[in-house]
Amino acid sequence: MRHLFPSLILLSVLLACNDEAPPSGQGAAERDVPPRTVAYACEADKKVEVTYARAGVTVRFEGRSYRMEGQPVDQGFRFGDKYVEWLGREDLALLSEIREGRVLALNCKPVARS
């Protein structure tokens, strides 16, 4: 858990510096935007694929899919369900498990968009 805290602080600072808001849950729901999929490469060679759609996101990680709705944030994005949370900004994100407080994928950066 000690190793997680500095990364979360860094992500909070980066979100505060973000001038351009990516597809957030609330903003994307208000726009008629076609779904788009972004592949992310994360620390420890982990990979996350996220499809951003009007009503939320579908996050695919280690053979599982999570359907999440947008959560309100000032900048960046935050999506979650009762098990996991996907948050960050368009060029840096993390996937965490809510109940255990465990980070599943850290420092995720987009590598491909479709």
In this prediction the pTM is 0.71
Q: What is the pLDDT of residues 20-58, one digit of tens each?
A: 444 444 454 445 678 999 999 999 999 999 999 988 999
pLDDT (0 to 100) of residue 41:
98
Amino acid at 14: L
Sole residue written with tokens 């505060």 = 16
CA proximity to 106, closest of 97, 76, 83, 79: 97
State whether residue 24 is helix, strand or coil: coil
pLDDT (0 to 100) of residue 50:
96
